[in-house]
Structure 1
């Protein structure tokens, strides 16, 4: 049985490879050739910050939440703007869905939901928390740790293909491992029982998914997406978890922002926005 499960996981994962590589090539190209422009645009949008942050955040690239964390730590953007970026950040979930033909409508719904949630939450938070802009900050110093000025990857300066290949292999490994575990669980207990264990048809499921999404690693996005594709969690729960999944943005925020209580507040607001949005979406099926 284990051999069959592993074989199925391998076949399912291999089918996605061409789509993943193509998607990561596009992501790396966008990050290399438009990343600096987008980063500087975010720093100058003023009161349009939450809307701009949500729209820019949903563009598939891996470092935008990190950039936002640095800009916020430097006093360049508002709390609502960084929250909008975190909530809307597009990560491996979109690319995995792209690797499954016929999921185009779901990708659009997911991105639309994240942009709306990010924008609404961002403006709401900016009405409660005072601005802390400091446009005089030296952009070179603020961006020194995030690489948003002339961004490069550790695994190959300027080499779009190598970077895309690196990401593809990494995500492929996560997909293979988790698909194997998921297939084994379905084989042993069935999809209905697995969904019940994950609080299926319960308002608690989005709360749990939002908590999982906060793990600062792409494994959480892979896990949530695969659970959604298998039918173990609802679309609302997937949205909740993928909204709180800000990649390494939270880790960088805690590292760069001197006010740790403020960072904790942003973290709590991120979880609350994702969880509440998931619960609300649950009522719409």
Structure 2
């Protein structure tokens, strides 16, 4: 038993260490792009109005540290609608993109998944607007308000680009290592088929579980979902449910800043139900990426 676990731990450690240079370069490039486009993206969201869900879906897909948090501040300040917020949450990639790039996933696969998240975000955003009305209606934006007030995204956004990239690389490396060890040990102990069966044999169960993991308000959620997908433990349906639900620290900011537990519960509930729904649709249709 110990020999199997030791082998799984060593394999996970070696594979994870190999990703570090790729993760660092990816975060360095993404950080530079974020600094160039981040403030402009927030300005676009501020003025989006009724096309908010479209801009939310498109801009949410851009890897931007704390964008979901900024969008949440806009929602709390009644600058954007509920549909726009949901659209941003659904399309946000969080740590999916850097992990995919580091693992050398084909570009076509990455683009397909991100495009699906954007399309789902836009459609779902307008569906929420239709069924729930224009909650958190736009009002005059307070002078100087940029969605960056409050405790921040908590991921080193205020530090220099190099330091921030190092911090994110080490953080995600630690999550990947931990998740890989757990998955590896589980597979060695009970078998890959048995683990996969937990998500695939019971209808909708995989999507329900993956979406719950995605609700964790931390980048660990998207790391777990992405790694499980890459390891072949879950299929496209559960993967999409988990990643759609993975809104990063946005949900944490919502709970901390909104102070309306019924409204917060409604937002989280909508995000969860929509994420599970689309995951099931993808699974039923047999869509693969």
TM range (shorter): over 0.9
Give the Cα separation in 1 of the matches to 2:31 and 2:15: 24
Partner of 1:145: 150
Partner of 1:27: 30
Structure 2: state its 5+ residue gaps: none
Partner of 1:56: 59
Give the Cα separation in 2 of the matches to 1:142 and 1:281: 34
How far the C-alpha of 1:101 sits from its partner, in A, is 1.6
> What are the equivalent positions in structure 2 for 1:36-75 lying under 5 Å apart?
36-75=39-78
Pairs aligned (count): 281
Structure 1: state its 5+ residue gaps: none
How far the C-alpha of 1:17 sits from its partner, in A, is 1.4
TM-score (norm 1): 0.93
Change (3 A) 1:155 1:73: closer
How far the C-alpha of 1:3 sits from its partner, in A, is 2.5
How far the C-alpha of 1:157 sits from its partner, in A, is 4.1
Partner of 1:109: 112
The RMSD of aligned alpha carbons is 1.9
Give the Cα separation in 1 of the matches to 2:105 and 2:54: 29
1:210-269 CA distance string (max 9 Å, x none): 111101111121111111111110011101000001011011112222433222111111
Change (3 A) 1:101 1:38: same
Change (3 A) 1:78 1:139: farther
SS at match of 1:140: coil
Change (3 A) 1:248 1:154: closer
1:126 paired with 2:115, answer no
SS at match of 1:283: helix
Contact persistence 1:70–1:146 (CA under 8 A) = no
1:10-41 CA distance string (max 9 Å, x none): 11112211221111112211222221111111
Give the Cα separation in 2 of the matches to 1:262 and 1:65: 17
Give the Cα separation in 2 of the matches to 1:156 and 1:240: 27
